[in-house]
Amino acid sequence: MFHNNGFENSYEELISYYPAFYRDVLEMRAILEAEGRLLDGCIGAANAMLGNAFVMTANEEMIARLEAFLGIEKDDNRTLEERRSLVYSFYVGFGKLSASKLRASIGAFTDEAVSIKLERIDAEGNNALVVRIPRGKKNVFNFKDTLTVLEKMIPAHIAYAVYFTYSIPVAVSCKHANHIYDMKLCGLEPEAATVCSLQEADTVTETDEAATNYVKSFTPCGTAVAGAL
């Protein structure tokens, strides 16, 4: 992870420093393979130690220790990446409560800007801390963990409301047809002015469909149907 010289393993790196004819000497190959495995173990241990120094690269054992230290309830349904994000949110949120610290904590779950404002929530003029959290494009977003962080950071005497925004691309399509009506003017006929006839509709939206003509009569509400399709 942190140490890579372009070789597949330490044996390949070690043997590259030796004369080419050593590749055909069975004893030398055995010695270098043994030393290569030893070096691979050292490199792995060093990488693990360095990775555990940072929350977002810590292994499962270190994350479990940090969860116990922070008092985070264990949840077997969380992935390792979700557990890292939750632990990280606790560390960046330590200290005196502020909007910037809340944003930093929620930033462990989303890559979008989080809105935190004190807003009026009712007609009596009561205010509450309104937190608007966009889903963003991160692979991990756990609603439950986000609420857990806010519950632990925001004091009990401060009312707050949380809104999550989930944006989904939507494609919209529609079909249409054109209809021509003959409307009778009001007062010129004894029948109601709403009586009309659909002359024809010869427009279609698909090129492989044949045009169809329709004829139908309409009558005012409460009267018998004058015609049928």
Residue 81, CB-side half-sphere exposure with 13 Å CA sphere: 6
Please answer whether residues 204 and 217 qualify as being in contact, where contact means their C-beta atoms are separated by less than 8 angstroms. Answer: no
Q: Report whether pLDDT(197) > 60.
A: no
Give a yes or no: residue 95 inside a domain. Answer: yes
CATH number, domain with residue 106: 3.30.300
10 Å CB burial of residue 83 (0-12, 13-18, 19+) is: buried
Give a yes or no: residue 3 inside a domain. Answer: no
* Closest to 70 measured CA to CA, from 84, 56, 81, 80: 84
Measured CA to CA, the distance from residue 120 to residue 118 in angstroms comes to 7
Mean pLDDT over 155-171 rounds to 81
Give the model confidence (pLDDT) of 53-73 as tens digits. Answer: 999 899 999 999 998 888 888
Verify that 194 and 211 share a domain, yes or no.
yes
Q: Check residue 62 and give its pLDDT.
A: 92
Crossing angle between the packed helical segments 99-106 and 143-153, to the nearest 10 degrees:
160
Verify that 206 and 159 share a domain, yes or no.
no
Give the model confidence (pLDDT) of 65-121 as tens digits. Answer: 998 888 888 888 888 888 888 888 888 766 677 788 888 888 778 888 888 888 888
Beta-bridged to residue 131, according to DSSP, are 116, 162
Alpha helices in 1-160 (DSSP H): 10-16, 26-51, 60-70, 80-92, 99-106, 143-153
Give a yes or no: residue 66 inside a domain. Answer: no
Domain C-terminal end among 123, 145, 165 = 165
Give a yes or no: residue 215 inside a domain. Answer: yes
Verify that 121 and 205 share a domain, yes or no.
no
Give a yes or no: residue 62 inside a domain. Answer: no
Give a yes or no: residue 67 inside a domain. Answer: no
* Closest to 85 measured CA to CA, from 36, 163, 140: 140
Domain span at residue 35 reads: 10-51
Verify that 36 and 106 share a domain, yes or no.
no
Verify that 160 and 186 share a domain, yes or no.
no
Measured CA to CA, the distance from residue 32 to residue 226 in angstroms comes to 99
Verify that 128 and 200 share a domain, yes or no.
no
Give a yes or no: residue 120 inside a domain. Answer: yes
Verify that 209 and 140 share a domain, yes or no.
no
Give a yes or no: residue 57 inside a domain. Answer: no
For the chain, give the longest Cα–Cα distance. Answer: 115
Domain count within the chain = 3
Verify that 47 and 85 share a domain, yes or no.
no
